Amino acid sequence: MHKIGIDLGGTKTEGILLDEKYNVIERKRIKTPQENGYDSIVKSITCLINDLKKKTGEKTSIGLCTPGVTDPNSGLIKNSNTQCLIGMPLKNDLEHILDQEILMENDANCFALAESLLGSAKGHEVVFGVIMGTSLGGGIVINGTIHKGRSNITGEWGHHILYPNGNKCYCGKQGCVETYISGPALENNWLVLTGKKESLQTITENQSGEKKEEWKRNFLENFGIGIANVIDILDPDAIILGGGVSNIPFLYDEGKKMVFDKVFSDSVDTPILKNKLGDSAGVLGACLLNDLWLLGFYCGWRFTCDHIGNPCYFIYLICYTITNFL
């Protein structure tokens, strides 16, 4: 069965069509019409999916990666920084229009899933995927399966309170990690320090001096606290960083040292890794959602049966063949 994955972002929406061997047949990127409201976003996703379907004569599965999560009780979107989605039945609306089941998952979960199965965290059992971009998000994958939690909010480290009574956040709280080390927050911190409005890339690559060092110290301190809290609670086998902020090189040496200094242990060696899949992680993770039960089954057996290896792989191949070809 061919697979369609859609990555709905705040500024762009990307779609991909894969064959049963995960080869790319077609890829397309369009602008997300967020300023025109919810109905325009639904229409744009529908058109993108239909365009991709035209490239294959076969039946396709559909996975959708979104900002925010679906409330397990109401079926409505919550906790999304694309605020026109909040309180809307996106999954139901798309299924009604397309007359097909859609699997939908949080963007950070899709990122973590793709990187744990295909990317930098491949081979690690418990993976915490971190998105640091316009907002902060996180996803947890255990043995190849997304861990959602009772309320479907697992991994939301960006809304841990860093400083009580601190910066105001769109979520209604104050002092969230996101308001200090997301891309826009870091640019705003520079503006407050220097009076200059500059991009994050310009700040990190072209600036120097006392103000730059102060900005960097504050960033590392807040990054260290935020990630150390995650390690103290989850103690994952690997942490993978994604999003635009993850491209800053000092996060992987000075940033890692700051994290380790704040963890509740005198011996910590948690790998903090740069993503491998880049912008493709979300859309690939969306495609993988349709094989999630199979991949989770295989990965769970893989980790517990490494000493026999091949039998698990044969079970995986049998299930894969039944799912895709029979």
Q: Is residue 260 one of the residues assigned to a domain?
A: yes
Question: If you search the block for the tokens 């909040």, which residue do you land on?
Answer: 86
84/189 same-domain check = no
pLDDT computed for residue 82 by the predictor: 87
Q: Which domain holds residue 13?
A: 2-110+280-325
- 254 shares a domain with 226: yes
Question: 136 and 219 share a domain?
Answer: yes
State the CATH number of the domain containing residue 142.
3.30.420.40
Counts of helices then strands in the chain (DSSP H, E): 11, 12
Note whether 127 and 269 are same-domain residues. yes
Q: Are residues 100 and 242 in the same domain?
A: no
Tell me how far apart the alpha carbons of residues 224 and 105 are, in angstroms, rounded to a whole number.
28
Largest CA distance in the chain: 65
Q: At residue 76, does pLDDT exceed 50? A: yes
Name which of 61-65, 82-86, 271-275 the model is least confident about: 82-86
**CA of residue 143 relative to chain centroid, distance:** 17
Residues 141 and 240 in one domain: yes
Let me know whether 149 and 241 are in one domain. Answer: yes
CA distance 157 to 28: 31
In a domain, residue 115? The reply is no
Give the distance, in angstroms, between the CA of residue 319 and the centroid of all CA atoms in the same chain: 27
- pTM surpassing 0.95? no
Report the chain's mean pLDDT, rounded to a whole number: 89
Q: Provide the domain count of the chain.
A: 2
Boundary (domain end) residue, out of 254, 274, 294: 274
Give the burial class of 164: count Cβ atoms within 10 A of its Cβ; 0-12 exposed, 13-18 middle, 19 or more buried. exposed
pLDDT at 190 (0 to 100): 97
**Residues 135, 248 within the same domain:** yes
The answer to whether residue 302 sits within a structural domain is yes
Tens digit of each residue's pLDDT (9 = 90 or more) over 216-259: 999 999 999 999 999 999 999 999 999 999 999 999 999 999 99
Residues 251 and 284 in one domain: no
Please tell me the distance from the alpha carbon of residue 229 to that of residue 259, in angstroms, as a whole number: 9
User: Of 234, 257, 274, which residue sits at a domain end?
Assistant: 274
Same structural domain, 70 and 130: no
Confidence class of residue 22 from pLDDT cuts 50, 70 and 90? confident
Residue 11 falls inside a structural domain: yes
Q: Are residues 266 and 285 in the same domain?
A: no
Q: Is the pLDDT of residue 306 over 80?
A: no
Q: Give the confidence band of 294 by pLDDT, cuts at 50, 70, 90.
A: low
Residue 149 shares a structural domain with residue 269: yes
Complete edge-to-edge strand list for the sheet that includes strand 272-274: 145-146, 136-142, 126-132, 238-242, 272-274
